[in-house]
Structure 1
Amino acid sequence: MNYEESPPTATPASCAINLVNTILGTGLLAMPAALASIGLIPGIAVVFLSAVASGMGLYFLSRCAARTEGRNASFFAISKLTWPNLAVFFDLAIAIKCFGVAVSYLIIIGDLMPQVVASFSDHAGAQDQMLLDRRFWITVFMAMTILPLSFLRKLDSLKYTSIVALVAVVYLCAIVIYYFFAPTPLTPDGKEPVIELVSFTVVFFRRLPLFVFAFTCHQNIFSVYNELKDNSQFQVTKVISSSIGSAAGVYQAIGIMGYLTFGKDVLSNVILEYPQSPFVAGGRLAIVVLVVFSYPLQAHPCRASLDKILAWRSPEARGLKVPPPPSALKYFIMTTTILVGSYLIAITVSELDLVLAFVGSTGSTTISFILPGIFYYKIHENDPWKPGKISAVCLAIYGILVMGVCLTFNIIRVVK
């Protein structure tokens, strides 16, 4: 039985878990630094507004999905209904964004696992050098865990691994809470952390993509719509609300307590600030587990978009709103290409911060704000200007402005 022909079995709870796991990724580690770039009070407000804007994008996409035929909703299918000549470019942006995030997950594995090993070893002998090699750990996790999970055809099949990943989020929260209430300051000089309620610098514009990137899960909303047993608008909106709300609460907690613990000089990866101990090493290992189980949630939409790109001009797909499902061979080749490509980049490049800043500025804003807004507007082009249509246009304009501002400041950063 083909995936597209299998009956939907997903529940609202399993869909919400998968969306939350897609949202809560590397953004958790950088949220305290994001708040530090603008101050505590504005930072809390920006997190809240980013959650609302992201939820609006998900809602508009779910409304557009209802206009497609059957349970074959995708960016490609909606593009064919609205802007058919641009469909391949939309899917290309999605594929690049998801691929870039998948690469970042592998890099995190390579960065944290040697630290975990070092935490349990007083000295590194010659026999331990292999265990301190980032490439070794990337290879191990790729072969043992990521590879088999990435070949699963249905996103709902990942609901149990998503639960395990969410346990890792709870562990990270426990570390942040524990050291927040610790009596001794953890700053390098042993002094009280410097907290600024309001602090606006140009650094905020370089870190603004993080707030957008942190809530980006829009590439998986169509899998939720297609696989949800009852995919009525009420149920889909319920999944969106619970997912965004839960993620926003976690981001606020980690961001606020992490910032109050270390102050305005907090590192962009907060887990590196905490002292070496088995407790913290377990947290770093938990983050590795988180990204390992989050990788397939990026590979799934990346493969789906790649399939649409490859089928765009094929004779059998020309003129169809939904291209035929990939053959077993094509599915295998696409998945293998994603795995091998991300693996080779991750073992070659150790830092992708600037690259991800550009990916977040372009891919995340496009998926989260611009596409949902223009899709919804196009479908309701001939309808009266009601609040929904006005909000969709405003969301698209907001996405374009964020993209322009963030790209400008990151380009200036590169030039300098």
Structure 2
Amino acid sequence: MATRYQPLEQHDTTSSVSSFPTSSVTNVDSNGWLDDHRPLLSRSSAPSSLYQSETSVEDGDHHHHSHATATPMSCAVNLANTILGTGMLAMPSAVASVGIIPGVFVILFSAAASAAGLYFLSRCAARTEGRHASFFAISKLTWPRIAVLFDLAIAIKCFGVAISYLIIIGDLMPQVVASFSHHGQTVEILLDRRFWITVFMVIAVLPLSFLRKLDSLKYTSLVALIAVIYLCTIVIYHYISPNYPPPPPEDIELVHFSTKFFSHLPVFVFAFTCHQNIFAVYNELKDNSQLAVSKVIATSIGTSAFIYEAIAILGYLSFGKNVRGNIIMEYPPSMFVAGGRLAIVVLVVFSYPLQAHPCRASLDKVLAWRTPEARGLKVPPPPSACKYFAMTTAILIFSYLIAITVSQLDLVLAFVGSTGSTTISFILPGLFYYKIHENDPWKPGKIGAVALAVYGVLVMSVCLTFNILRLMA
């Protein structure tokens, strides 16, 4: 008995998986494809690449060796580590654009919207065969031609995050050096942000980014956890310490509405983006029932929202409406603060390759789309050594040039959030869920999916416009 997916475009109201007698499946080529280019989704005959999405770190070279042994707690921690990152540093500035009360609600709303996107993706994952869910597999069940748009969105998001990492290195290392110098006496070049970006790019980022396997970086989650705890400690300590007076009362606004909010809204969206990893959670969780996956989503999103709220509110109350886009740059030099800055630098140095890897894989698919060698194939062939080197070099060079030119972290996160993050978090989950349930009655889930996709399109259109105007001003 061989099985294959029934294309949803035929508007069949039956299950998306149908069974056919073996005699009815003819002209199957050596790669496991039917003669009409539909995949024969039998695990024994289909190519393993069909079940993988090369656009996420978890779906990399060792995906086919993975087993469903993950616990809910480990999955929640990994998902939370994906969420908590550079968005923490820009959150107080984002809250300052609307005031404390609206800021609290926007964080909660962004968390809820992100959780909804994760929920819809997990429901879509249940429609795939076995534990081989991926954006690629779902796109082939819904709109096959949208796969290239997904890869483009992933490439944009990962490239933007990689740039933000380099900007953080350039922002923090001069302050670390100043903290360790005596009486402010230090070589001037050591206070140049471009110098430190170049140094870390050459000695660490460049060699790590060319690795095809990222096994050596699997312990960075521990470094990420330490950096998150350290940052929270710095923010809380400087808020409660009597040695650091609060800003004037007029600098603290409960409510503040201006067009500046629309340029900061993508920061809230970016902060909760972890959707490229939800399929790894579904595939690796021991009990991947909808209830178990939903608990993982709720735990990771809830914990992250609590941490974001604490950093955003306390950071804003500590420095007022003029707080900078990178909160840790606001604190006066000390060994305590320098240690936190250095921890974040180490974190982003080892995290850059984790963004370059999926960015390169997505870029490869975008470049291979509709090329003669990839025509008729559902998955393009692996890149040649020359193409692999060229793509990696291009990612490194362009991210480096942008990082030494742009110093506004919140601006970079705003552009990433209004394009790649919005697409991954809202638009694609809503569209996928709607397409799978296209012939079902209009129940709350289907209505919510459409609303989420529409919300994503509005956020992308409005916020991208405001950020372009902000850049041109």
Evaluate the alpha carbon distance shift between residue 353 and residue 362 of structure 1 in structure 2; reply closer, same or farther with a 3 A threshold: same
Match of 1:5 in 2: 64
The equivalent position to 2:228 in structure 1, one of 156, 169, 172, is 169
CA contact (8 A) 1:25 1:290 kept: no
Change (3 A) 1:270 1:71: same
Question: How far did residue 310 of structure 1 move?
Answer: 3.9
1:183 aligned residue (237, 242, 247): 242
Q: How far is 1:322 from its partner?
A: 4.8
Relative distance call for 1:165 and 1:253 in structure 2 (3 A) is same
Q: Percent identity?
A: 74
- Which is worse superposed, 130-139 or 267-276? 130-139
Q: CA deviation at 1:176?
A: 0.7
1:44-193 correspondence runs (5 A): 44-122=104-182, 128-147=187-206, 150=209, 158-186=217-245, 191=248
State which of 254, 269, 276 in structure 2 corresponds to 1:219.
276
Task: State the 1:18 CA deviation.
Answer: 2.9
CA distance in 2, matches of 1:193, 1:278: 31
Q: 2 CA distance for matches of 1:21 and 1:305?
A: 22
CA contact (8 A) 1:81 1:321 kept: no
Bigger Rg over Cα = 2
1:41 aligns with 2:113: no
Q: Amino acid of the residue matched to residue 304 of structure 2?
A: A
For 1:319 and 1:235, the matched residues in 2 are separated by 38
Alignment of 1:256-335 (within 5 A): 256-313=313-370, 318-323=375-380, 334-335=391-392
Residue type at the aligned position of 1:169: V
- Contact 2:265–2:414 (CA under 8 A) maintained in structure 1: no
Aligned to 2:434: 377
More deviation, 340-349/261-270: 340-349
- Counterparts of 2:182 and 2:409, CA distance in 1: 30
Gaps of 5+ in 2: 1-47, 49-60
Change (3 A) 1:135 1:199: closer
Letter in 2 for 1:175: I
Query: Alpha-carbon deviation of 1:266?
Result: 2.0
CA contact (8 A) 2:170 2:193 kept: yes
Q: Distance in 2 between matches of 1:71 and 1:10?
A: 12
**Post-superposition CA distance 1:282-303 (Å, at most 9, x none):** 1211221332243234234323
Task: Mark the CA change 1:231 to 1:145 in structure 2 (over 3 Å): closer, same or farther.
Answer: farther
Asked whether the 8 Å contact 2:172–2:329 carries over to 1, the reply is no
Return the TM-score normalized by structure 2. 0.78
CA contact (8 A) 1:96 1:363 kept: yes
- 2:84 maps to which of 15, 21, 24: 24
CA RMSD of aligned residues (A): 3.0
Is the 1:370–1:397 contact (alpha carbons within 8 Å) kept by the matching residues of 2? yes
Return the offset for 1:200.
1.7
Residues of 1 paired with 2:378 and 2:121: CA distance? 17
CA contact (8 A) 2:326 2:409 kept: no
The alignment partner of 1:384 has SS state of: coil
Larger relative contact order (Cα-Cα within 8 Å, sequence gap ≥ 6): 1
How far does the alpha carbon of each residue in 1:126-166 deviate from its partner, in whole angstroms, 9 at most, with x for none? Answer: 7x344333344334434554456546667787552112111
How far the C-alpha of 1:329 sits from its partner, in A, is 7.2
Residue identity matched to 1:29: L
Deviations 1:162-200 (A, max 9, x none): 12111111111001111111224545xx64573222222
Query: Greater helix percent: which structure?
Result: 1
Q: Please, which of 262, 284, 301 is the counterpart of residue 205 of structure 1? A: 262
Give distance in 1, aligned partners of 2:208 and 2:161: 17
Residue-pair matches, total: 413
Instruction: Render the CA deviation track for 1:19-49: whole Å, top value 9, x for unaligned.
Output: 2222112211121122222121221111111
Distance 1:310 1:236, change over 3 A: farther
Moved more, 296-305 or 278-287: 296-305
- Using a 3 Å threshold, how does the CA distance of structure 1 residues 270 and 350 change in structure 2: closer, same or farther? closer
CA shift in 2, pair 1:157/1:15, >3 Å: farther
Q: Report if the CA contact (8 A) 1:185-1:193 is conserved.
A: no
The answer on whether the counterparts of 2:326 and 2:410 sit within 8 Å (CA) in structure 1 is no
